[in-house]
Amino acid sequence: CITLLHQEFKDAIGYIASIRPQVEKYGICRIVPPSSWRPPCPLKEKSFWKCTEFNTRVQQVDKLQNREPKKKETQPRVQKKRKRRKKLRFGMSQKLRSAESADQDEKFGFQSGSDFTLEEFQKYADMFKEQYFGMKGSDEISLFEIKQHKEMWRPSVEEIEGEYWRIVVCPDDEVEVPRLLICRLCSY
């Protein structure tokens, strides 16, 4: 186990190359960064928000607990493969992916959603939250009152989570929410 000093870690790749002859005979080497080091988070870079696209899936929140069972298909295996290929060819804005993963998504209960950049998804999520948690009957209220209300009240994490569980346990509305699928770059 090698603990690096702050100066050594400035050029971590160079340092690893310099110790390689010593540690290579062991087959493995654990390198511990200095406690002051913070990994860079690409999510904070503006270019990352504007350029990186993510696939989404539509999740029917109201059916999480009470989904209808998926009907078993009785087609021969050869016909299934053709059908899968067809689905992939005629997808709207989907990127090509293996038929197996497309089939897994369908079995799990997610429909393909749109592709978004992080910036677009943030705007979409804010709009969804504003519409869902906004004032009911706002057509009777003046624009000034609506703006004032938005500044005063925003749902807390607890209120949003409470509404989520209310929809899951006692669904009385159809609620579909797009989910980000592939975002494993850094943790908050």
| Confidence class for position 72, pLDDT limits 50, 70, 90 | very low
Structure confidence at residue 113 (pLDDT): 83
What pLDDT is stored for residue 112 in this prediction? 82
58 CB-contact burial (10 Å; exposed 0-12 / middle 13-18 / buried 19+): middle
Distance CA 109, CA 175 (A): 14
pLDDT tens-digit map of 29-70 = 888 888 887 777 777 777 877 888 888 888 777 777 765 555
Q: Is residue 180 helix, strand or coil?
A: strand
Q: Which two tokens stand for residue 171?
A: 């669904």
* Tens-place pLDDT, residues 107-164: 566 778 888 888 888 888 888 888 777 755 445 555 566 556 555 567 888 988 888 8
Cα separation, 53 vs 56, whole angstroms: 10
| In the chain, domain spans | 2-38, 44-66+76-180
What Cα–Cα distance (Å) separates residue 120 from each residue in 49, 51, 66, 88?
Answer: 8, 10, 31, 25
Q: What is the pLDDT averaged over residues 4-33?
A: 82
* Residue 73, pLDDT above cutoff 50: no
| pLDDT tens-digit map of 83-104 | 444 343 333 344 444 455 555 5
* Burial group, residue 94, by CB count within 10 angstroms (0-12, 13-18, 19+): middle
